[in-house]
Amino acid sequence: MTDHRTQTVPVDGGELTVGVWGDEGPLVVAVHGITSHHLAWALVGADLAADHRVVAPDLRGRGHSRDLPGPYGMARHAADLAAVIQAYGGTATVVGHSMGGWAAVELARAYPMLVDRLVLVDGGPALPALPGVTADPTEDEITAVIAETIGHAYRRLTLTFPDHEAYRATWRAHPSFADWTETTAAYADYDLVAVDGGWQPACRLAAALEDARDLYAWRPVAPEPLPVPAVFLRAERGMFDQPEGMIAPGAATRAFPGIAESDVTGTNHYTIVLGAKGAAEVAGAVRRLS
C-alpha cells in the first residue's frame, strides 16, 4: 500500500476516517461498497498516487468510522462525501464501487458544484424489483434481499471469529477470491474489531440494512442524464464469480443517457477493484476521463 496513511475529516456527529494515497495532483474521492471499507481501493490508490491525490473514506458505520451515528442512507453518505471534498479543497473526480456507485450518483446530483466527473464501478443504475419486496419494504424483507444478493457479505456481519486467520479463511473460501493476495489479506484484517470472545467485522448491521433500503426499495425512475461527465465499468462476472454480472449489460446507459459504458473482462464484482487487472482498468478510466 504505497504511500498509504489514514486521516480524519469532521462530519456531522464526529469524525470520518479516510485513507489517503498521494500528495499532489487532482483530487479523487473513492467510495466503497455496502459492507466494505476504504482498503477496497488499495490497488487503485497506489496506482493513481503517482499523479493524483486519492482520498477514500470508511463510510459511516464501517471500518474506523463505524461509531459515527446514524441515520445512514445515500443522502447521508453524500453529505459526508461532500464534507470530505471540501476538507481537501476544490472539486473531485468521484469513483464509486457497488453501493459506492449509488452514493456517488447521489453526491453528484445533490452537490454538483463539488464533482467534476464520475467513474461508476459495477454500481449506480437502479436495481430491478425483486419478488416478495414491496414498494415500502419491511426490515425482514430487506434482510431477505441482502441475504439473497450479497449473501456471504451479509452473513459474516452476524458472526464472531476467534482470530484474524479464521476471518481470512472465510474470504479465501469465497469463489470470487480464488486468487488470494497480500492486498486481500490486508483488506480482511482491517475489517476486524475486537469484541468479547473474539473479533467481528467492523460494518454495523444496522448501517447495511438501512443502506440496503435505499438500494432495493424499488421506485421506478425515469432515465436522467447525470449532471457531470461519467463512465460506467461493468464487471464481467458476478458477486460469487458467476457468469452473470451484478449489473445487466446496458443498464447504465438506460439509466443515465450519455454515460460511456464498458465491460472489464476477466473480473468479478470484487476483483474489479481488489484485483490487479480491475484496479488498473479503474485507474486508467480516471486518467482518461480527466
* Rg of the chain taking only CA atoms, in angstroms: 17
Do 19 and 38 touch, CB atoms closer than 8 A? yes
Residue pair 19/138 in contact (Cβ under 8 Å)? The answer is: no
User: What's the pLDDT score for residue 213?
Assistant: 78
Query: What does pLDDT average to over the chain?
Result: 91
For 200-216, how does the pLDDT look when each residue is reduced to its tens digit (9 = 90+)? 999 998 898 888 878 87
Quote the pLDDT of residue 136.
66
Domain containing residue 213: 5-289
What does the pLDDT look like over 108-140, one tens digit per residue?
Answer: 999 999 999 999 999 999 776 656 666 666 667
Instruction: Give yes or no for a contact between 41 and 273, defined as CB atoms under 8 angstroms apart.
Output: yes
At 218 the pLDDT is: 47
Give 65-104 pLDDT, tens digit per residue: 999 999 999 999 999 999 999 999 889 999 999 999 999 9
What is the domain-level CATH number for residue 259?
Answer: 3.40.50.1820
What per-residue confidence (pLDDT) applies to 290?
81
Q: What's the number of domains the chain is made of?
A: 1
